[in-house]
Amino acid sequence: MALAGFSLSAFARGLEGPSGDVFYTPPPSLAPADPGTLIWMRPLTTSAALPSAARNILVLYHSRGLNGEDVAVSGAISVPRGAPPAGGWPVITWTHGTTGLVAACAPSRDTPKGPEHVSLSQKQALLDTYVKRGYAVVATDYQGLGGPGLHPFLQGVIAGHNAIDIIRAARQADQVIGTRYVVMGHSQGGHANLFAAALGPKYAPELNLLGNVAFAPASHIDETLTSMLLATSPSLRLGYSMYVLQSFASNHPTINLSRLLSQSAMENLPLTQEQCVTATLSSGYWATAVPQQQFLKDPELSGVLKVAVSNDPGALQIEAPTFIAQGSADETVLPSWTDDVAQRLCENGTPIEYAVYAGADHETVVDQAAAKAQRWIDARFAGQEAINSCWQLPRARQ
């Protein structure tokens, strides 16, 4: 039966999902369906629920993997209070930053004692300001986080599909969700939202993309990987590199990690699937290992680098206005990388407004850019023309 207290469309009736973590595992007999089709739903009461929302909904929905295969993906929907405007609530589809590789790291599973709660709660506070101001907020967990399988980390097409398909699922779950949307994300999610914006108009023509906001978007995956071959001191980028290698190997059969990694690295690789990102980067083997020693002397990198280049956001063509924010003191996503992405997107015809925040690091850039991003999003929904600063881009790297 329908969920009590929910304003549901006819499509959603009878789709109440199971309690507990069983919710995240689709039924074994599940048949493929159109992307965005709901599998089931239930009220969301974890830390992922936005306090200012009239209702928060946990969903499991159909999306598409790398080769168009049907995949089950989880996520959260938060609906504003009050009466929706004509055409339904405007939508923010949020693409989250790195949490890990496995299901336990999903943002929708977050609790006050969760492994990524500190970072996730900060972003939830930001998202709550949007739902408080009359935006429906939808947030995919991405394939493999929440749902089954290994998360395809930094594979942009997959994450882009996931971020768009949750809007479709939201419109089935609650009839007051509109078709106009903006994509917004940070770090890994900045990478994801650039792909979502590039794919959205053709992938989901029934929806109306107005723009996207990328805070310190991940990029230069190939450069990150090759730098680890020479690095002789522990590096945060080593943990991210191990995520990338496992991600690419999971759905690219020609990539064989035993031909890239040392025996010690192969033996410790499972640790990255036993904990989430904070633990991986701050303690244990991968936080203290010497990067250079994790690779064979002559690693077979050609296949990996080919996939890395195909996931470079700077090569995209995005029709919608795009706002990029970068901190000059960021040591995770280097300022020079985002300078390069902004420049290349401009050369590809993307209308860019690029803002640099002096002294901001990878996390604080979100706070420092939040007010400007909010005004920028409001302007898109108000139909105002976006600023295009491609003719004179600032530089985050001085």
Residues 166 and 195 in one domain: yes
**Per-residue pLDDT tens over the stretch 295-305:** 999 999 999 99
Degrees, nearest 5: CA angle 267-269-273: 135
Tens of pLDDT, residues 165-184: 999 999 999 999 999 999 99
Indicate whether 240 and 263 sit together in one domain: yes
The most distant pair of C-alpha atoms in the chain lies apart, rounded to whole Å, by 63
Name the burial class of residue 271, with classes exposed (0-12), middle (13-18) and buried (19+) by CB atoms within 10 angstroms of its CB.
middle
Is the predicted pLDDT of residue 324 greater than 60, yes or no? yes
Range of the domain at 195: 10-218+319-392
Beta strands at 55-64 and 38-43: parallel, antiparallel or unpaired? antiparallel
Q: Is 134 helix (H, G, I), strand (E, B) or coil?
A: coil
Alpha carbon distance, N-terminus to C-terminus of the chain? 60
Total structural domains within the chain: 2
Distance CA 67, CA 78 (A): 30
Residues 214 and 228 in one domain: no
Residue that finishes a domain, picked among 260, 290, 310: 310
How many CB atoms are closer than 10 A to CB 150? 18
**Shared domain check, 225 and 208:** no
What are the two backbone dihedrals, phi and then psi, of residue 392, each rounded to the nearest 5 degrees? -155, 75
User: pLDDT value at position 398?
Assistant: 63
In this model, does residue 3 exceed pLDDT 70? no
Single-letter amino acid code for the residue at 165:
D
Compute the residue count for the chain. Answer: 398
Select from 254, 286, 310 the last residue of a domain. Answer: 310
The pLDDT assigned to 145 comes to 95
CATH number, position 33: 3.40.50.1820
Q: What is the pLDDT of residues 87-135, one digit of tens each?
A: 999 999 999 999 999 888 999 999 999 999 999 999 999 999 999 999 9
Helix (H) or strand (E) holding 356: strand 352-357
Tokens of 23: 């919710």
pTM above 0.85, yes or no: yes
* Domain end among 269, 292, 310: 310
Nearest alpha carbon to residue 107 among 60, 130, 135, 74: 74
Angle made by CA atoms 285, 291, 294, in degrees to the nearest 5: 75
Residue 11: helix, strand or coil by DSSP? helix
pLDDT at 282 over 60: yes
pLDDT in tens, 214-272: 999 999 999 999 999 999 999 999 999 999 999 999 999 999 999 999 999 999 999 99
pLDDT for the residue numbered 29:
87
